[in-house]
């Protein structure tokens, strides 16, 4: 039995109050998302508290697809060199040819 199932069972038996507050310190992001979905089924008015979690950048709706594991090992899409050590939002390496190509893509 996973911790996720325990939290869901607790919410089903005792209500959703306080379950998320504890679970968010305990569960991995994937499990927490699943728990949030279940809590909303149990209590449609319930909303996950988002204050202080803006860091993860996840949104319930929207086309944002981000894989945290990938963002750590980014590579220049043009020459394939690693972007480790580059600024967080850097999308290409410093080579002039790559930067030019990136600028052409970005409107």
Q: Which helix (H) or strand (E) holds 99?
A: helix 96-105
The yes or no reply on residue 86 touching Zn ion (CB under 5 A) is: no
Query: Of 59 and 95, which CB lies nearer to Zn ion in the complex structure?
Result: 95
Cβ atoms within 10 Å, residue 72: 8
The yes or no reply on residue 83 touching Zn ion (CB under 5 A) is: no
The yes or no reply on residue 98 touching Zn ion (CB under 5 A) is: yes
The yes or no reply on residue 90 touching Zn ion (CB under 5 A) is: no
Residue tagged 């394939």 (tokens): 80
Assess contact for 49 and 20: CB atoms under 8 A.
Answer: yes
Query: Of 11 and 98, which CB lies nearer to Zn ion in the complex structure?
Result: 98
Please pick, from the candidates 3, 79, 82, 90, the single residue that binds Zn ion as defined by CB under 5 A: 79
The yes or no reply on residue 19 touching Zn ion (CB under 5 A) is: no
What is the rounded distance in angstroms from the CA atom of residue 56 to the CA atom of residue 41?
Answer: 23
Q: Which spans of this chain sit near Zn ion (rule: CB under 5 A)?
A: 76, 78-79, 93, 95, 98
């Amino acid at each position: 039995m996973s911790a996720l199932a325990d939290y869901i069972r607790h919410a089903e038996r005792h209500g959703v109050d306080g379950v998320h507050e504890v679970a968010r310190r305990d569960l991995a992001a994937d499990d927490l998302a699943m728990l949030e979905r279940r809590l909303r089924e149990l209590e449609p008015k319930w909303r996950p508290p988002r204050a202080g979690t803006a860091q993860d950048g996840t949104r319930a709706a929207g086309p944002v697809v981000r894989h945290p594991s990938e963002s750590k090992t980014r590579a220049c899409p043009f020459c394939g060199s690693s972007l480790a050590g580059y600024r967080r939002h850097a999308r290409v390496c410093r080579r002039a040819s790559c930067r030019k190509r990136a600028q052409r893509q970005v409107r």
